[in-house]
C-alpha cells in the first residue's frame, strides 16, 4: 500500500518525475493517455499565463488584491485530474489551477478577484464551492460535504486544500478530527509552499512533516514532491479510492514553493533571500512537466509557442469582458452568502439601500 510504503514518520517522500523531467520511479508512473496528459499540460500553461497576467492587472490598478499561484501547478492540477466527475472541490484562496481544471471559468475567477460577487456563481453541474478566505474553514466545509455524501450514499469524495500555515489553525484540527471520527470520504491536500505569508514553515509548527499530522487523527498521511504532477496524481488517486471505499479520510502533503508573493499586498523580498527563490525556480513544476511531455512525443516547442500566444490572447479577451462589467453593485455584498438572506441581512440590506437612494456612497 502506498501510504505504508511512504511513511512520513520515516521521512519518505513520493517522487516519480524529478527536477530534470526524468522518471525515477517507473513502477508508479501513472498510465495516463495522451489526451489526458495534454489536457493537464494545456490547463497548466493557460493557468500560468492567466496567473501572471492577473498579477499584472492588479499592479496596473485594474484588479483588486490577488493571490498568485505560480509554482502550484503540479499540486493543484495533479489533484484535480485525479478526481471523479461527481466529487466536490472545496477551495481556499490559492486554488486557481484546480478550480479552472474542475470547470470554473476564467471569467468567473477573474470576476471574483475583480470584486464582483457574481464571480462565485458557477455554472450548473460544476462541483466547486466558492473561494474560502478564512484560513482553515474550508476543512470544516469539506468535512460537512463529506458527511452528507456518506449519509446520502452518494459516492462523492470531498477534496479540499490548505496551506502549510493553515495546518496550525484550530479549524484544520477540528475538521480533520471530525472526518476521522466519522470515517468520512475526505481528502485534504496540504500545499506546503514553505511560507505562511512571512512566517517560514519551521516557525509555524515543530512537526518534521505536515503529513505526519495525520497520525493524530488516526488516518493515513503521505508526503509527495509537490512539483511533480505525476506523484501528486498517483497519491491523490489512491487517497480518493481509499476515501471512496469507506475507509475514511487521507491527508496528503505536497512539498512545493510559492514563487511569487503571498498576495499582491505582500513583499516577499522582506523575509526571504533571492538565492532561495532561485533554487526553487529550478524546481519549477512546469519545467519538468514540459520535458516529460516532449520526451513522450506529446508536445513540441512549436506547440508551446503557439499555445502560449493563444492563451495570452484568450486571457486578454476574458479580462476585457470582465472590465466591461464596471463597478460591482454594493448591495450584492448582502445577497449571496446564503440561499436566502437572513432577517438580519434583510434589515442591513434595506437600511443600506435607503442610504444609497438618498445619495450616500
Spans of all domains in the chain: 2-327, 329-361
Tell me the whole-structure pTM to 2 decimals.
0.95
pLDDT at position 359 is 83
**Of 195, 262, 288, 292, which is the active-site residue?**
262
**Of 70, 72, 258, 288, which is the active-site residue?**
258
The Cα–Cα gap between 195 and 202 comes to 9
Is 13 a residue whose pLDDT tops 80?
A: yes
Give CA separation, 166 vs 194, 199, 277, in Å.
12, 11, 22
- Mean pLDDT in residue range 278-301: 98
**Of 59, 62, 121, 271, which is the active-site residue?**
271
Q: What are phi and psi of 195, to 5 degrees?
A: -140, 135
What CATH fold (topology level) applies to the domain 2-327? Rossmann fold (3.40.50)
What angle is formed at CA 273 by the lines to CA 272 and CA 274, rounded to 5 degrees?
A: 125
- Mean pLDDT in residue range 84-100: 98
Is 271 a residue of the active site? yes
Q: How many CB atoms lie within 10 A of CB 202?
A: 9
Percent of the chain with pLDDT over 70: 100
The Cα–Cα gap between 64 and 264 comes to 9
- Mean pLDDT in residue range 228-249: 98
Amino acid at each position: 500500500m502506498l501510504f505504508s510504503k511512504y511513511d512520513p514518520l520515516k521521512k519518505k517522500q513520493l517522487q516519480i518525475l524529478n527536477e530534470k523531467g526524468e522518471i525515477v520511479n517507473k513502477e508508479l508512473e501513472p498510465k495516463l493517455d495522451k489526451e489526458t496528459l495534454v489536457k493537464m499540460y494545456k490547463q497548466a500553461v493557460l493557468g500560468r499565463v492567466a496567473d501572471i497576467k492577473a498579477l499584472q492587472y492588479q499592479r496596473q490598478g485594474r484588479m483588486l488584491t490577488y493571490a498568485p499561484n505560480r509554482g502550484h501547478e503540479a499540486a493543484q492540477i495533479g489533484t484535480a485530474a485525479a478526481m471523479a466527475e461527481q466529487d466536490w472541490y472545496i477551495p481556499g484562496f490559492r486554488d486557481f489551477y484546480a478550480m479552472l481544471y474542475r470547470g470554473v471559468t476564467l471569467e468567473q475567477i477573474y470576476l471574483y478577484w475583480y470584486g464582483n460577487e457574481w464571480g462565485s456563481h458557477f455554472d450548473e453541474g460544476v462541483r466547486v464551492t466558492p473561494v474560502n478566505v478564512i484560513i482553515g474553514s474550508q476543512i470544516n466545509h469539506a468535512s460537512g460535504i463529506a458527511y452528507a455524501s456518506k449519509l446520502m450514499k452518494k459516492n462523492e469524495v470531498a477534496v479540499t486544500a490548505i496551506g502549510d500555515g493553515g495546518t496550525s489553525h484550530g479549524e484544520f484540527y477540528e475538521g480533520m478530527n471530525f472526518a476521522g471520527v466519522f470515517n468520512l470520504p475526505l481528502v485534504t491536500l496540504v500545499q506546503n509552499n514553505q511560507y505562511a505569508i512571512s512566517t517560514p514553515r519551521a516557525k509555524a509548527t515543530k512537526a518534521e512533516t505536515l503529513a505526519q499530522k495525520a497520525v493524530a487523527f488516526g488516518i493515513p498521511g503521505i508526503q509527495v514532491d509537490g512539483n511533480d504532477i505525476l506523484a501528486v496524481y498517483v497519491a491523490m488517486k489512491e487517497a480518493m479510492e481509499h476515501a471512496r471505499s469507506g475507509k475514511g479520510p487521507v491527508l496528503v502533503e505536497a512539498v512545493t514553493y510559492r514563487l511569487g508573493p503571498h498576495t499582491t499586498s505582500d513583499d516577499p523580498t522582506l523575509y526571504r533571500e533571492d538565492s532561495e527563490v532561485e533554487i526553487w525556480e529550478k524546481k519549477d513544476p512546469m519545467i519538468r512537466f514540459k520535458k516529460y511531455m516532449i520526451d513522450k512525443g506529446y508536445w513540441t516547442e512549436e506547440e508551446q509557442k503557439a499555445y502560449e500566444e493563444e492563451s495570452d490572447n484568450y486571457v486578454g479577451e476574458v479580462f476585457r469582458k470582465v472590465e466591461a462589467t464596471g463597478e460591482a453593485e454594493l448591495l450584492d455584498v448582502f445577497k449571496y452568502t446564503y440561499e436566502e438572506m437572513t432577517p438580519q441581512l434583510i434589515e442591513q440590506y434595506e437600511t443600506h439601500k435607503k442610504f444609497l437612494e438618498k445619495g450616500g456612497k
